[in-house]
Amino acid sequence: MAALLTASCSDDESWAPPFLTDFAELGTDGNGVIASMTLDNGVRYESARLVVKCAEGDGLTPDSIYRAVCVYTRMDNVATLYNYTRAFAPEPISPDVLANGEIKTDPCIIQSIWRGGDYINALMLVQGKNQPHIVGFIDEGIAGEEYKELTIRLYHDQNKDPEAFTRTIYLSCPLRQYAGQLVSGRDSIAFVVNEQDKGMATYKLPY
């Protein structure tokens, strides 16, 4: 996902670098301060190549990796991070670990979905007001022999949130744990979700 926003020019008609929006991994140092940003294409910014200008008052854990949607500029091989929104990025789990084995699939809208680096990224629209929604990824197994397909079902519990207005939830399903089971360029992923007004829908993505 890359959204380019035109920046206003100054009186001397020079242009500021455009703002970019991408999913990325944000790494923190031993003090819980953002120290690196790694994009899905593998490009990594750290040390002198990363300038952080956003507030970090949300209690980031030291020496950790966070999945986030980042707003930044890039100029002369230096990235300046202005803002970020954390994405839901839990590891897929087996349905066996769920209480009573119940997979909740409250309806939503998948505005867009794609494979990015080691993740499935998606923009999920939900109806709600002020309650947190519970989101997860359910690993329903790998099928096939010559060509394999991993099925992942979206777990979505609206948590009795009143349907007042539409809001966006950023999803990022990690795939690194399947590196020894699936082959890039050969195998695939079936992402299953209960779509509002459509019912159960399956998105086919390359591994």
Based on its alpha-carbon atoms, the radius of gyration of the chain, rounded to whole angstroms, reads 19
Average pLDDT over residues 28-34: 93
Q: CB neighbours of 194 closer than 8 A, spacing ≥ 6?
A: 105, 106, 107, 108, 154, 156, 200, 201
What is the CATH classification number for the domain harbouring 41? 2.40.50.500
Q: Is residue 189 part of a domain?
A: yes
What pLDDT score was predicted for residue 114? Answer: 97
Q: Is residue 11 part of a domain?
A: no
What pLDDT score was predicted for residue 153? Answer: 98
pLDDT band at 163 (very low <50, low <70, confident <90, very high): confident
Q: In this structure, are 129 and 197 located in the same domain?
A: yes
Of 86, 104, 130, the position where a domain reaches its end is: 86
Q: In this structure, are 41 and 111 located in the same domain?
A: no
